[in-house]
Amino acid sequence: QWIYLGDQFVKKEDAKISVYDHGFLYGDGVFEGIRVYDGNIFKMEDHMKRLYNSAKSILLTIPHTQEELTNIICEAVAKNNHKDAYIRVVISRGVGDLGLDPNKCKKANVVIIVEPLAIFPKHLYDTGLEIITVATRRNRPDVLSPQVKSLNYLNNVLVRIEAHLANVSEALMLNDQGYVAEGSADNVFIIKNGKLYTPPAYVGALEGITRNAIMEIARELNYEVYEEPFTRHDVYTAEEVFLTGTAAEVIAVIKVDGRVIGEGVPGEHTKTLLKGFREKVVQDGVK
Ligand code: PLP
């Protein structure tokens, strides 16, 4: 396995970074997760746009143009020879001193890892997921925008810890007003009266690329789609609930905080949208 590190490809065993890298010391940096389906990179341009916007928001200069970085990512995929894989792109502030002054970091560090990934066991895609809501809150958009995919993922890690302590694989975060925001690394959708609802960005949800793809697919299939705030009660009483994300893809939720959703099995709308998604990932990829 080849990993892009700094400005070259190195073997996995040799891919090591300095303990003075501010990505490590302070979580100072940004990242993206991108998916390769059958050799096609899904929504590459959207991911690049989000990565460069995340970097811009925290005044981090990525040492490549978008086109250069796109080419390096394509090279990383080709070099690792996976037909289906997950690409992790990490841009850290780079090596500085122990203080947190980012100006001491002379050059951002670029890391690209390409490998197969399955965040949930395969059978859960057939049976659906049981999830909970947790005490950890989504950070307020006016404090640190959820649109910045920063290396500070402690909230999200805490969500996952709370989920695991309750013996489930994933959980939903609420925002500071108690509206449902999103999962630890995925967006949430509910279906009510056959209509789709997902929390708007201002509630604290990342504008997920899978989320956007699902909204597009749903509209093509003549579903009504709304970006509207909703509460836990709305989730408990929904006909169907599902999560979307680059790593999670589209996965049905069948129980939330002990409340059975619908019939307790993945619903027909979720299955239809998942099918639409599967078709889309092959059509919309970039070789
Ligand atoms: N929400 C958070 C906090 C995430 O980290 C992710 C993963 O990228 C998502 C949602 C899903 O977004 P996407 O579909 O772009 O992967």
Per-residue DSSP letters for the chain? -EEEETTEEEEGGG----TTBHHHHH--EEEEEEEEETTEEETHHHHHHHHHHHHHHTT---SS-HHHHHHHHHHHHHHHT-SSEEEEEEEE--B--SS--GGG--S-EEEEEEE---SS-THHHHH-EEEEEEEEEPPPTTTS-TTS-BS--HHHHHHHHHHHHTT-SEEEEE-TTS-EEEESSSEEEEEETTEEEE--GGGT----HHHHHHHHHHHHTT--EEE----HHHHHT-SEEEEEETTTEEEEEEEETTEEPTTSS--HHHHHHHHHHHHHHHHSEE-
> Cα(25)–Cα(99) distance, rounded to whole angstroms?
9
In this structure, the answer to whether residues 142 and 254 fall within a common structural domain is yes
3-state secondary structure 167-217: CCCEEEEECCCCCEEEECCCEEEEEECCEEEECCHHHCCCCCHHHHHHHHH
In this structure, the answer to whether residues 205 and 166 fall within a common structural domain is yes
The CATH number given to whatever domain includes residue 41 is 3.30.470.10
In this structure, the answer to whether residues 73 and 129 fall within a common structural domain is no
Residue 203 buriedness (CB in 10 A; 0-12 / 13-18 / 19+): buried
> How many whole angstroms from 159 Cα to the centroid of ligand 1?
14
What is the domain extent for residue 103?
A: 2-115
In this structure, the answer to whether residues 15 and 154 fall within a common structural domain is no
Q: How many domains does the chain fold into?
A: 2
- pLDDT at 286 (0 to 100): 55
Model pLDDT for residues 243-259, shown as the tens digit of each residue: 999 999 999 999 999 99
Last residue of a domain, one of 57, 84, 115: 115
Q: Residue 87: CB within 6 Å of ligand 1?
A: no
Say which of 149, 192, 195, 271 is annotated catalytic: 149
Q: Which two tokens stand for residue 153?
A: 């993922």
The CATH number given to whatever domain includes residue 157 is 3.20.10.10
Task: Please indicate whether residue 43 is annotated as part of the active site.
Answer: no
Last residue of a domain, one of 94, 115, 136: 115
195-198/249-256 β-pairing: unpaired
In this structure, the answer to whether residues 68 and 154 fall within a common structural domain is no
Q: Which two tokens stand for residue 286?
A: 């970039």
In this structure, the answer to whether residues 28 and 133 fall within a common structural domain is no
Neighbours of 16 (CB within 10 A): 9
* Average pLDDT of span 3-12: 96
> How many whole angstroms from 98 Cα to the centroid of ligand 1?
31
In this structure, the answer to whether residues 175 and 89 fall within a common structural domain is no
Q: Residue 136: CB within 6 Å of ligand 1?
A: no
Model pLDDT for residues 154-207, shown as the tens digit of each residue: 999 999 999 999 999 999 999 999 999 999 999 999 999 999 999 999 999 999
In this structure, the answer to whether residues 263 and 169 fall within a common structural domain is yes
Q: Which two tokens stand for residue 213?
A: 């793809």
Last residue of a domain, one of 115, 138, 165: 115
Q: Which two tokens stand for residue 24?
A: 């490590």
In this structure, the answer to whether residues 101 and 148 fall within a common structural domain is no
Residue nearest atom 12 of ligand 1, based on CA coordinates: 208
In this structure, the answer to whether residues 266 and 226 fall within a common structural domain is yes
Please tell me which residue, 205 or 120, carries the higher pLDDT value: 205
> Cα(213)–Cα(50) distance, rounded to whole angstroms?
15
Task: Specify the ligand 1 atom closest to the Cα of 46.
Answer: 15
In this structure, the answer to whether residues 247 and 265 fall within a common structural domain is yes
| Confidence class for position 287, pLDDT limits 50, 70, 90 | low
Give percent above pLDDT 90 in the chain. 90
Report pTM: 0.96
195-198/225-227 β-pairing: parallel
Task: Specify the ligand 1 atom closest to the Cα of 149.
Answer: 5
| Confidence class for position 67, pLDDT limits 50, 70, 90 | very high
* Average pLDDT of span 83-107: 96
In this structure, the answer to whether residues 129 and 204 fall within a common structural domain is yes
Given a cut of 90, whether residue 143 has pLDDT beyond it is no
Cβ atoms of 122 and 99 within 8 Å: the answer is: no
* Average pLDDT of span 76-81: 94
Residue 83 buriedness (CB in 10 A; 0-12 / 13-18 / 19+): exposed
What mean pLDDT, rounded, does the chain reach? Answer: 95
Half-sphere exposure of 283 (CA within 13 A, CB side): 8
Do the interacting molecules here have an ipTM over 0.90? yes
